[in-house]
Amino acid sequence: MTITGGCQSGAVRYRVEGAFGDPHLCHCRMCQKASGNYFQPFGLVQHRNFALVTGEPKWFASSEPARRGFCGECGTPLFFELLGKGRIGVSLGSLDDPASVKPVSAYGAESRVPFIAEVCAIEGEPYDTESPTIASVAATNRQKSGQERRE
C-alpha cells in the first residue's frame, strides 16, 4: 500500500509505503500550539518506509528530544519526530486522502479541551457554492492536490 501526502502549497510532498503504526490524536499542549488546533492527528512510520518526493521541510526543535517538520513556504505542519527512534509521525491531515487512516488512540488527555466531544458533534452544513465569497475562494484556490505538480 502506498499513501501520499504533502503541504497546502505542494512545495513538500512525501510517500509512505505500508500501513501507519498507532494512528492517534495528540491533545498535548505542544501539539495544540504547533498545529493551532485543539489536537493533532499523527500516524507513525518507520524511516525505511518514508520518502520525501518533493522539497524539504523546515524543522523546529520543539524540545530536546523532538523536532517538528513543516513547509517553509506555506507553513503546513507535516511531521513530528522523536530523534533516534527510527520513525516519524506524519500529520494525518496532510494525507492526500485523510480519511484513509483512522485514529485508534489518543494521547495527552490531560490537555484535552473539555468541550471537544461537543464540538465534534456539531452538525455541519456544506458551503453555499453560490455565495460570492465561496465562489471567489474556489476560483482562486492555490492549494495543490496530490495530483498536481509544482511548477
Q: Is residue 108 part of a domain?
A: yes
- Which residues touch 68 (CB under 8 Å, ≥6 apart)? 34, 59, 60, 62, 77, 79, 80, 81
Q: Tell me the mean pLDDT in the region 76-104.
A: 97
**Stated pTM of the model:** 0.89
Q: Is residue 146 part of a domain?
A: no
Q: Looking at residue 17, what is its pLDDT?
A: 97
Q: Is residue 148 part of a domain?
A: no
Q: Looking at residue 147, what is its pLDDT?
A: 58
Q: Is residue 116 part of a domain?
A: yes
Q: Is residue 145 part of a domain?
A: no
Q: How many domains does the chain have?
A: 1
Q: Is residue 151 part of a domain?
A: no
Q: Is residue 77 part of a domain?
A: yes
Collapsed DSSP state (helix, strand, coil) of residue 23: strand
Q: Is residue 134 part of a domain?
A: yes
Q: Looking at residue 146, what is its pLDDT?
A: 61
What is the domain range of residue 81?
A: 2-140
pLDDT tens-digit series, residues 123-136 = 999 988 888 888 88
CATH code, domain with 74: 2.170.150.70
Q: What percent of the chain has pLDDT over 90?
A: 82
